[in-house]
A and B are shown apart, each in its own frame.
Chain A
Amino acid sequence: MFVNNDVRKSEEMLERHVTQPSEAGHPIILSTEDLHVYYGKKEALFEGDLQFASNQITALIGPSGSGKSTFLRSLNRMNDRIATVTGRIMYRGVDINQPAVDVYEMRRRVGMVFQRPNPFAKSIYDNIAFALRLRGVTGKHELDEIVETSLKQAALWEQVKDDLNKSALALSGGQAQRLCIARAIAVKPDILLLDEPASALDPVSTGQLEDTLLELKENYTIIIVTHNMQQAARISEYTAFFNQGRVLEYDTTSQIFTNPQVQVTSDYVSGNFG
């Protein structure tokens, strides 16, 4: 884990290597420009400038407290009431970090799944129908159909199709997390943000979750924060390495793991950090 920063030379810490996906010709769906996040007066994220390729999985890795979760939560403005976020977040050409933007409509397009599986104390069906009903989808037939397709996409349908009216709290951790994914994709977002979604799961559930994410990639752009470097290596096309609130390296995942350009990244991915 992350131990001591003071001993590192300051120029070493500022060494950066960022290759944006647009340089490789990928279409970009979301990008941040000059993004800073402050908790009170304390700056938690300095200049997070990243582009996210459409229909790809991008992993955000880095030690605890490196700002990766802060960055992720800023992307759909979940930090609005907690922190001050300055800079631009360009989503399909629109800056969504503007007061005029309706965050509720924006969050339908940029969904989020959290570290801890957080189903509501409602039935499985009602969990998925929750956001749809808020948006005025009330037709039984329509709801049934969306619930089924969402659960199928999240690879949960076969296990729960007979228990849709049972409480979601009875599901196992892995199932609950896939329910949360189904719930998030039920409103058909463009982008799915995942904040360490597998950290509370056992290895089998984690494997299943990763398979699900790889399938979801066809329809969604996925940005995932993970502590598990093998996971990043297994599923993502691009990886950003965060340290002390800065993006130190951003490149294709294979490049980051096999040929990191920055010494700190190299230390981190090889486990010699600190």
Chain B
Amino acid sequence: MKATQQLEQQLKRRSKAAKLEIWGRVVSFSALLLIVAVVVAIIGFVASKGIATFTSNHVNLWDFLTGKQWNPNITDANGKPEVGALPMIVGSFLITILSALVATPFAIGTAVFMNEISPNKGAKILQPVTELLVGIPSVVYGFIGLSVVVPVTRAIFGGSGFGILSGTCVLFVMILPTVTSMSADALKSVPRYYREASLALGATQWQTIYKVVLRAATPGLMTAVVFGMARAFGEALAVQMVIGNAALMPNSLVSPSSTLTSVLTTGIGNTVMGSLQNNALWSLALVLLLMSLVFNLIIRLIGRKGRLQ
């Protein structure tokens, strides 16, 4: 009987290790809590500021999304402020889609070379180059765009050289490494036995890549492209340096225009908190935030679909 009690006491006594475990859980849980709080706070802040344009300044949401005149400092004939965000929204989407369109074939081609055609050279040369490209700060890309891409565009197409085309060229180089390395990961995750099965059936290497590997990796490749698009959509500095920053509807690829991010970075320092000018910029930020959420959602959906297959 005494032995049982003693055993019970020993088993129920919290050991040092058990206490440490509780402590560890508390620490990691509070870290998580902090991150969640920060994210919620950011979304809440941007949303409350962004909505103020519509609630306290009484701008019509539809006018905001479809208006073509962006000039928060003056009011139009009807006494309403000119805060039409359409030029920036169009600019952002145009530059994102164009750069993704240009970057995707190069990225997938490079990934195929790295993974399928010459894995040794791919690992030795392309991998470090790709990683290096990711690490270059965006101001450097912007500066090279400003001093190389813009003059070249000007020489070929005329005009000032600033515009969507120059922005696309810069963003193409900026998102290329991201899309490439993610595409390479997607190809890497295609099981080796798929390739072997195809080769053993007498398919050539190209047929195997085209009919089996790329098909199997499609969800991963799509995720890579959407990731690249998300990055292009959110890039501010480099784009701002080459796009011309005129809040006008882009009527050609080489006319100065602007994106959500470029207007934000140019304008946010010059406005007073709480004014309409400031609130309108916050509304642009809200659009940007919502679009990032949409991109994330798309990536999730693709990932889930890929798993189900």
Contact = CB atoms under 8 A, between A and B. Distances in A.
B201 A111 contact: yes
Contacts of A118: 191, 193-194, 196-197
Interface stretch (B129-137, B175-183, B203-211, B276-284): B203-211
B212 interface: yes
Interface string B197-229: 111111110010001100110000000000000
Interface in A124-177: 130-131, 134-135, 167, 169
B252 interface: no
Contact of A120 (B199, B202, B204, B212): B212
B4 interface: no
B193 to A, nearest CB: 4
Contacts, number: 61
A114 B211 contact: no
Given A120-B212, A121-B216, A121-B309, A131 B201 contact: yes
A210 B193 CA distance: 23
A78 B200 contact: yes
A121 B194 CA distance: 9
Given A121-B216, A134-B207, A187 B201 contact: yes
Contacts of B216: 120-121
Given A114-B193, A118-B194, A121-B309, A134 B199 contact: no
A134 B200 contact: no
A183 interface: yes
A161 to B, nearest CB: 22
Given A120-B212, A121-B216, A130-B211, A183 B199 contact: no
A167 B200 CA distance: 21
A112 interface: yes
Given A130-B198, A134-B207, A187-B201, 15 more contacts: A76-B200, A104-B203, A104-B204, A107-B200, A111-B201, A113-B200, A114-B196, A118-B193, A118-B197, A121-B215, A131-B202, A134-B201, A134-B203, A169-B309, A183-B201
